Structures are given as C-alpha cells and as structure tokens.
Amino acid sequence: MQIGPHKLRNNLVVAPMAGVTDRPFRQLCKRLGAGMAVSEMVASNPRLRETQKSQRRMDHEGEVDPISVQIAGSEPAMMAEAARHNVDKGAQIIDINMGCPAKKVCNVAAGSALLRDEELVLRILDAVVGAVSVPVTLKIRTGWDRDSRNAVRVAQIAQSAGITALAVHGRTRACAFTGEVEYDTIAEVKARVSIPVLANGDIDSPEKAKRVLDHTGADAVMIGRAAQGRPWIFREITHYLETGEKLAPPEISEIHRVLMGHLHDLYTFYGEQPGVQIARKHISWYTKELAGSGAFRQALNQLETAPEQMAAVETFLARLAQHNERLTYREEGLAA
C-alpha cells in the first residue's frame, strides 16, 4: 500500500487511540509487523500546543518512517496551522480526525461531529491539504447516527479535496464502539472512490482481517483495541495473509520480553511516576488472558514505583514461564 511517496511494507495500520498510541506503543507495533502507526490526536488549538501532553505527542525521535500525526479541530485555518506546525515537528503524513466519538471532542464540534456539516468538512480538508506538502489522510465513521449515514458522500468530498487515503470505522458516532460493524458500508465507500481505503472496526484476529479485506475490497485494515496488550497481532495477521496458516500464540517467555521492554520504554519516555501510572493499563491488557491474572492485576495497581512494578511482572510471568505456557485466545480472537 502506498500513501503519497510512502510505500508501506504491508497493509496493516495501527489506529490512532488517545492515551495508547504514544511513541513507545507505535514503535513496538512497527517492530512487530505494523506497516504504519498513527499518533494520538493532537489538538489544533495553539493554546494547547505547549502543554506537556501535546509536546510528548509531537515527539517522534527515533520513530520508524512514515510518521503519521493525527490532528483534531473544527476551524479550517486553525487546522491548517496545526498541520504546518506538526510537519515542522517531523510529521510525514497528516491525518485528520473526523471519527472520534468521544463527547469531549464532539461537544466542541470536532471529531465525528464534523460529519453533520459536509460544507465544513470540505473547508477543513481544502485548508489542510493546501497548507502542507505532505500527504493528508482522513479518518471518518459511517455517519452521525443510523438516520444520517453519509460516509460515501464524505469519501467523495475527501477525494475531490486531495485526501490521499481514507480510513473508515464501520459504525456511526451514535454507536460508539458497540453493535455490528457496517462492513457493507465500507465496501460501498471503496467502490465509489479510487483513493486507498482502510477498513476499521472489530478486526481482532488474522481470520477476521482476511474476511474484512475480502468482503470490503479495502486496501488495508486499521487495528485499534485488538492490539492493546497484543502488539504481535500484526505479525500474526501478516503470516496468515501470506500463508493461510495461523502462527502459534507467543510463549510466555516472549510476552515477558516484549512487556519488560515496553515498560522500560514507558518509564524512559514519561519519567518514572507518570510511566508507572500509564503502564498499569498496558500490563493489564498483556496479562488479562493469563491464569491468575485477576489477583495479580489487583495487587499491581497498588504499586507506586517502577522497580516494584517490574519486579511484580517478573515474578508473575516467570512462574508461568516455568511451565512453558502459551497465551490462548478465544476462537474469534480478543474482544475488539
């Protein structure tokens, strides 16, 4: 798959997720097989640009190309300036957020709220595409609610504005992350535009990835929640698409190595105390399918220092590794 001048090594992309797709997570997913990873959304409001959170989200030091940064907002001029600012900070692709269903985003007429105003959609896309020389991509939902699905029209608007690739989460804003994914709508979008289309929503196993690609005709799949605590899902999907065979789940010893490396990167990136707090959710995701993890995770949340946290993980996984155990998945994969 190609986005502008960037030829991706495969058609597997990490979805932008606030509080998750920071630089350590993006780098890890790329090492384990993702062709591209989109950053957490960066607010377009310049008053928020100098906050510590925003500065971290614009930190791409050492990150493998291409560097894709998602921006969010509702003012065309402000979005254009945010795009220029992020390109100056190293972004090689700008992604526009018109898919986030969170109330705090929609309440300021950003994210998926923009889908209610197609004229504003065009003004924002024109402003951003005209502001930068790098490719601009777009992420949308199928509409605001079931009575106002307009993904096809928005996709056509995006293509005419010069958007180089389009990711579609197959639910409306009103559906959030529940209910059936509208893969038929994604297929219709793909049939009505010529730019690359990425299918997103509940893709949580190699088999599901293949079914979605076959059904929608999409050029790529975008994976979000299924990669939380399971960054090797990209390696698993790649192997299945290439061979038709499933890889064995990772042994506990590999989970141990991956998780300990991820924790080290989090402490380095955020500093010890913030890193410990952020690491809790990642440890929970990594271990939730493992025997005895309930009591372990409850105890883990009481620990306050990095050495304590790492020692607890070491002890828990070392005990399981003695039996050379492997992670086991439910038949249809993890919940998306």
3-state SS, one letter per residue, for 40-56? CCEECCHHHCCCHHHHH
264 shares its domain with 283:
yes
Mean pLDDT of the chain: 91
Residue 336 lies in a domain: no
For residue 324, pLDDT beyond 80: no
**DSSP annotation string for 97-132:** EE----HHHHTTT-GGGGGG-HHHHHHHHHHHHHH-
Domain's final residue, options 243, 269, 290: 243
Predicted pLDDT of residue 173: 78
What is the model's pLDDT at position 109?
Answer: 55
Last residue in a domain, options 243, 264, 282: 243
Residue 326 belongs to some domain of the structure: no
- On whether both 46 and 119 belong to a single domain, the answer is yes
pLDDT in tens, 104-123: 665 555 678 899 999 999 99
Instruction: Express each pLDDT in 78-91 by its tens digit.
Output: 999 999 999 999 99
Parent domain of 278: 252-321
> Contact 100/70 with Cβ under 8 angstroms?
no
Residues marked as catalytic: 100
Q: Is residue 328 part of a domain?
A: no
Residue 333 domain-assigned?
no
Task: Give how far the C-alpha of residue 301 lies from the chain's centroid of Cα atoms, to the nearest Å.
Answer: 25
Residues 156 and 260 in one domain: no
**Overall domain count for the chain:** 2
In this prediction, residues 259-266 reach a mean pLDDT of 98
- Whether residues 223 and 288 share a domain: the answer is no
Clarify whether residues 16 and 70 are in a common domain. Answer: yes
Q: What is the 3-state secondary structure (H, E, C) of 5-28?
A: CEECCCCEEECCCCCCCCHHHHHH
pLDDT score of 111: 77
83 and 196 belong to one structural domain:
yes
- pTM, to two decimals: 0.92
Return the structure tokens found at 175.
């559906």
Q: Count CA atoms closer than 13 A to 88's CA, side-chain side.
A: 7
Question: Is 155 a member of any domain?
Answer: yes
Is 330 among the domain residues?
no
Q: How far apart are CA 217 and CA 264, in angstroms?
A: 39
Asked if the structure places residue 332 within a domain, the reply is no
In a shared domain, residues 163 and 56: yes
Asked if the model's pLDDT at residue 330 lies above 50, the reply is no
Among 334, 204, 228, CA closest to 280: 228
With a cut of 80, say whether residue 232 has pLDDT above it. Answer: yes
236 and 263, same domain (yes or no)? no
Within a domain: 327: no
Query: Residue 292 pLDDT > 80, yes or no?
Result: yes
pLDDT above 90 for 277: yes
Q: What is the CATH number of the domain that holds 79?
A: 3.20.20.70
- pLDDT higher than threshold 80 for residue 238: yes
Tell whether 103 and 47 lie within a shared domain: yes
What residues contact 97, with CB distance under 8 A and at least 6 apart?
16, 41, 70, 71, 72, 105, 110, 111, 139
Give yes or no: residues 111 and 228 share one domain: yes
One domain, residues 66 and 123: yes
pLDDT reported for residue 331: 41
Among 243, 263, 278, residue at a domain's last position:
243
Q: Domain with 296 in it: what CATH number?
A: 1.10.1200
Residues 120 and 147 grouped into a single domain: yes
Q: How confident is the model at residue 32 (pLDDT cuts 50, 70, 90)?
A: very high
Q: Is the pLDDT of residue 71 over 60?
A: yes
- Residue holding tokens 């535009």? 193
Q: What angle do CA 159, 40, 173 make, to 5 degrees?
A: 60
